[in-house]
A and B are shown apart, each in its own frame.
Chain A
């Protein structure tokens, strides 16, 4: 049934390498080309299946990527692109020397370093607890998943309201219930303090997703491993470090890679909660800075360079993580 048998006769001279002359070579090339064309014609059905999707993909993803790479080398003129001024890597150098960009990069990296371990830590606890024989597992799973399916816009506004300085719930709890602070804290007006609600939101929203994935991985660990360990007298901690963690490793690697990509791409929460990097552009993330430079300052070339720096960084970090984390599995 396979569509393999192609004009094999043409290829036969190659069995006698010593006698290959120019004519035979041309015959081979000709034969191969005819083969390919025949196969293409024969599989035109397959291309028809691909046509709608691939045209969308090329028009709205691949072409834009290349286009934006080109833009990043220009002082791009959005009204009349023809008069854009070529700058070489000028936009990239500008970004790396721009204190606002550096600050945004630091904010983004810190956000990633806090939210990724935070999400995985709490998700692991939730998943392990839900892996016991307990009643209401479905209820808990739905409850923990609620923040995941709620849109970023809504949860960001919600946290903004909870952390509101005058009448916010968080200040109320800290000041009037726990008496930890004497004064109401201005969470949203300070470039460093605003990172608290942003990071907490990142963790709060993501725990359910990681927990569901970890739970499934836990459930695929055979129960007899634990039983054997129990017979050998292993306690909970030993079982956790010797059985659970090593077997969860592939899932954890997957989670870390995906969550780091997500963390570095933090955008909506920052855009809404800081109103675009306020105060003084100190609370930007990389992508909110990209948005501001591009759509508020109309500097499309600089914006493109920023987004390319981020993309390259994300790629490098992902590759390094996969290399590092996977190597340890092999011992």
Chain B
């Protein structure tokens, strides 16, 4: 057994290591904030300063006002919101069928769906591009939404199926005796009882569609339909040295992400776990 003194030393070392880690994680972010409030002339000063000399909000004003950044923000918000709602609807319907009913071909359908979790999404970009082109879904926010919902389906159905399976069957029987249908069971029992599961799906899907870059990058050519990740990536090409502007835009894009994360932190961990334990 450790003596009290040894235990205290151990605890102090623990804190020191953890805090060093946090510093390594935090410095790039602090640097980003600091650069976003520097005017252009100071973004290449040497030695670089973590605390800016003449802080200014001009980058934020310019990003939000001049460069259609507000529009990109709204595009992202629209895409992420519709994707999240649609994914919840579609994948909870599927999860219900897979967890609470039996029908011919159930296993085949389920395992086919699971292959979707194993295919690297970037590999699908080429054929999806051609199909989207033929269906006139390129250059449209709806084209993004349809692909995002599809790409989320396997994982989220799998996750929800786990949540649905643990609800006792007796509740269903009661509904059927009262003359209810499967739809009654779905809406009156399953959905209300699995709100935490639906929250997990909502958070993961929202963040995924808010951050997604590869598909949006190839599918959107029209400047006014860009989402935030594409806009920010091309910002950097456009103004190769305007780092203040790039980071001001990045921070605005990050705020909803951090908000969602901090508010729903406990659901996050649970979602990660259900993926980890069953995957």
* Partner-B contacts on A (CB < 8 A): 1-3, 36, 39-40, 43, 45-47, 49-50, 52-54, 56-57, 59-65, 67-68, 71, 78, 122, 125-126, 129-130, 132, 134, 138, 140-147, 149-155, 157-162, 166-169, 172, 176, 204, 208-209, 212-213, 216-217, 230, 251, 254, 258, 261, 264-265, 267-268, 272, 287, 290-291, 294-295, 300, 303-304, 307-308, 310-311, 314-315, 318
Contacts and interface: CB of A to CB of B under 8 A. Distances in A.
Interface of B: 1, 11, 14-15, 17-18, 21-22, 24-29, 31-32, 35, 43-48, 89-91, 93-94, 96-97, 101-104, 106, 109, 112-113, 116, 118-120, 122-131, 146-147, 149-151, 153-154, 157, 173, 176, 181-182, 186, 207, 210-211, 213-214, 218, 229, 232-233, 236, 243, 246-247, 250, 253-254, 257-258, 261-262, 265, 268-269, 272-273, 276, 279
B207 A172 contact: no
Contact of A140 (B11, B22, B35, B154): B22
B25 A147 contact: yes
A132 B101 contact: no
B248 to A, nearest CB: 12
B157 A268 contact: no
Contacts of B128: 60, 64
Contact of A134 (B14, B176, B218): B14
Given A157-B250, A158-B31, A53 B157 contact: yes
17 contacts: A39-B103, A50-B94, A54-B109, A56-B150, A57-B154, A59-B131, A67-B131, A141-B265, A142-B265, A145-B261, A167-B44, A167-B45, A172-B48, A204-B28, A216-B273, A272-B233, A318-B118
Nearest to A125: B17
B150 A57 contact: yes
A33 to B, nearest CB: 11
Nearest to A64: B127
A70 B91 CA distance: 30
A154 B232 contact: yes
Contact of B44 (A53, A60, A166, A264): A166
A178 to B, nearest CB: 13
Nearest to A53: B94
A260 B215 CA distance: 22
Nearest to A231: B1
Nearest to A287: B122
A307 B233 CA distance: 23
Report which residue of B17, B31, B123, B276 has the largest number of chain A beta carbons within 10 angstroms of its beta carbon: B123
Contacts of B151: 61
Nearest to A275: B237
Contact of A57 (B153, B229, B273): B153
Contacts of A1: 173, 176
SS class, residues of chain B in contact with chain A: helix
A49 B25 CA distance: 44
B254 A150 contact: yes
List the 4 shortest-distance A-B pairs measured between CB atoms, nearest first.
A64-B127, A43-B103, A151-B211, A49-B97
A129 B22 CA distance: 13
Contact of A65 (B45, B103, B119): B119
B4 to A, nearest CB: 14
A63 B128 CA distance: 9
A52 to B, nearest CB: 5
